[in-house]
Amino acid sequence: MATLQNLLPCLCVFLANLVSTVFAKGPAEVPLVSSVSPEQPNFTFARLYDLQVKFYDAFLWPANLEQMAAINSTLLAEDVIGRIDITRNFEGRELNTEYLFGLFAQSAQHPEIITLVGVPVSYEIIHFTANQYITSAAVRLQFNFTSLGLTVPVEIDSWNTYNEAGEITQFDVTFRYWQWLVDHVITASAPKVGATSPEEAITKLGQLVAQGVCSTHQMYCTGGNTQYADFNACLSYLTNATRFGQAYELGRDTLLCRSLHRNMVPYRPEVHCPHIGPAGGGMCGDEMDYPGTVASDIFPVPYKPYGY
């Protein structure tokens, strides 16, 4: 009996240490360190940060003009897939070069055309994390809405994946506070368009934006690319038969959507003229709904480290 009493304290200490060790490690099936994917690169944190910086350096005006002039940006993989929450999904290097670089370059080159697409002139990375082949960043940019005489901060939150060559293979982008931004730009531009209220500003901006779309149509959408009978038919459709659109509707059947795609028309009229036409060309239509949009999963490569 004495021997058992002597062993009890030692047994208690052993059990206490065992329990402590088990709970400290957590469930055995959860790995503490992920393994490396055999199909994806395993970059250092510093390399991934450099790749993020390289993209945003090229995104600014006038560097974006150089990217657009190359037609197919070497920052993007040939089969790149992108999603922007306020617009649509974009596939392929050429299309994504146009939308990531050419869209904003056009706004800078034609400040006389009223548009709600700004020109990025500076940036700072305010949040950043990365692992293996994935980056996640929040970037605050200064956008110059040249045609409206405004400079406004815009935050873009993005998830990217990269291949072995350091090219972006996927991007998933969200414009933070976008509704607030659009409301701010409309209100701040009211004096320039001669409006005394946000409601009047939307009406007058809509007229001016539609004129810009229709002028571009007249210049580039000719022959088989024609979408409207003439300038007046275009203007009537966009101001009377098409809604201006909510901030999130840059990929729906709205004037805002056609204003966005107007910037792309000069690059490839045969591709982009249908986007500003009445049918929307598969880019400006109301076939999408909220549940379907949120539930869609278009990315073949996972946005989490291999093994999790």
pLDDT tens profile 224-259: 999 999 999 999 999 999 999 999 999 999 999 999
Q: Report percent pLDDT > 90 for the chain.
A: 77
Q: Determine contact, residues 159/52, Cβ cutoff 8 Å.
A: no
What is the sign of the dihedral through the CA atoms of 189, 193, 195 and 199? negative
* Mean pLDDT, rounded, for 201-213: 95
Q: Which of 107 and 121 is assigned the larger pLDDT? A: 121
Q: Which of 88, 107, 71, 63 is nearest to 257 (CA)?
A: 88
* Mean pLDDT, rounded, for 273-298: 95
Please report the DSSP string for 178-217 in residue order. HHHHHHHHHHHHTTTTT-SSHHHHHHHHHHHHHHHHHHHH
**How much is the pLDDT for 36?**
83
Distance CA 21, CA 31 (A): 16
**How much is the pLDDT for 107?**
74
pLDDT tens profile 24-38: 555 445 545 558 888
Amino acid at 235: L
Q: In what order do the strands lie in the sheet with 150-162?
A: 89-91, 76-84, 168-176, 150-162, 134-145, 119-131
CATH class of the domain defined by 39-176: alpha beta
Distance CA 204, CA 187 (A): 12
Distance CA 110, CA 220 (A): 15
pLDDT grade, residue 117 (50/70/90)?
Answer: confident
> Is the model's pLDDT at 12 over the cut of 60?
no
| Exposure class string for 76-110: b at 16+ Cβ within 10 A, else e | bbeebbbbbbbbbebebbbbbbbbbbbbbbbbbbb
> Is the model's pLDDT at 1 over the cut of 50?
no
- Asked if omega into 27 is within 30° of 0 (cis), the reply is no
* Segments of the chain assigned to CATH 3.10.450.50: 39-176
Rounded mean pLDDT of the chain? Answer: 90
